[in-house]
Amino acid sequence: MAANGQGTVNRNRLDHVLPQGYLEGFTSPSQEGQVWVFDRQEQLWFDTGTRGIGAIRGFYDYPLGSQPDQTADQAFAELEARFPHVRRKLVANNFSNWREHLDSLLHFAQMLRARSKLFRDEHLAYTRGVTMLDATLLRNKAITDMRTEIGRGPGWLSEFYWCLRLTASPTDPVITADNPVVVDGIAPTFQQALQDAHTRVSFPICWQACLVGRKAKFDKQSDAFLPGELDRLRSIYLQEASRFVFSPSRIASLSADQRD
């Protein structure tokens, strides 16, 4: 939400819940700038550019009359600008130097988690249950708390051990979704999951690579996906998506999984 020449804030524009610079890592190598999208609500695949997809109009606007000390865009700007450069370096070096960038990758992942619609919805539901704030103050608090979460850096993600799982084929890719950071496990609550040995945390960097975290060290810090792992990861992201899944290619098995 950049300021215009009169010193006011541009409002009601398309806010990218997933930044274009992130989605570019999931575009098709054979169709530059195009990404395949599976819409869970409409039950269909379509291909599109990264500009309009994953965007909600005015999602990060503070209500009229509010005077925040910082806009959401300012909180996002540095991380959004840095990530595409980091991703390109990783790809150019065949991901051999990924641990040098781990802190930056985790901070970016935490930003994506905090700016997601799921985070907003869960935050609003919790706040409504413990306060009597009106709708305007609830929205103010949700956006400010999102910024606070981003300001903490990697946060709890830094408490996990991480490995990098890799694939070489855009027809057998890592995918992502509108909820790009997934906590998968058997613990009944989020806080318990963060301490549980069965918990796995996933963050897709691009279609070639996904960070996987857990509470115990990995035997190999970087390796190709084992048989069945990538199919399972894609199934998890399909189920965890609020609406959209993003891929460099159309994957028929995802549509079949959704019909089950």
pLDDT in tens, 18-61: 888 999 999 999 888 899 999 998 999 999 998 777 654 444 44
pLDDT at 206 over 90: yes
Residue of 208, 196, 189, 210 whose CA lies nearest to 248: 208
CA dihedral 124, 125, 128, 133 (to 10 degrees): 10
Tell me whether residue 224 is in a domain: yes
Q: What's the Cα-to-Cα distance from 39 to each of 126, 237, 258, rounded to whole Å?
A: 27, 13, 10
Query: In this predicted model, which residue has the larger pLDDT, 150 or 186?
Result: 186
pLDDT at 93 over 60: yes
Distance CA 137, CA 143 (A): 10
pLDDT at 2 over 80: no
Tell me whether residue 8 is in a domain: no
Tell me whether residue 6 is in a domain: no
Give the number of domains in the chain.
Answer: 1
Q: Which of the residue ranges 27-36, 52-61, 75-84, 180-189 would you say has the lowest mean pLDDT? A: 52-61
Identify the band that residue 252 occupies on the pLDDT scale cut at 50, 70 and 90: confident
What range does the domain containing 181 cover?
A: 14-259
Alpha helix locations (H) across the chain?
A: 20-23, 72-92, 102-114, 117-130, 135-151, 190-193, 229-240, 252-259
Tell me whether residue 7 is in a domain: no
Tell me whether residue 233 is in a domain: yes
| Average pLDDT value for residue range 183-191 | 90
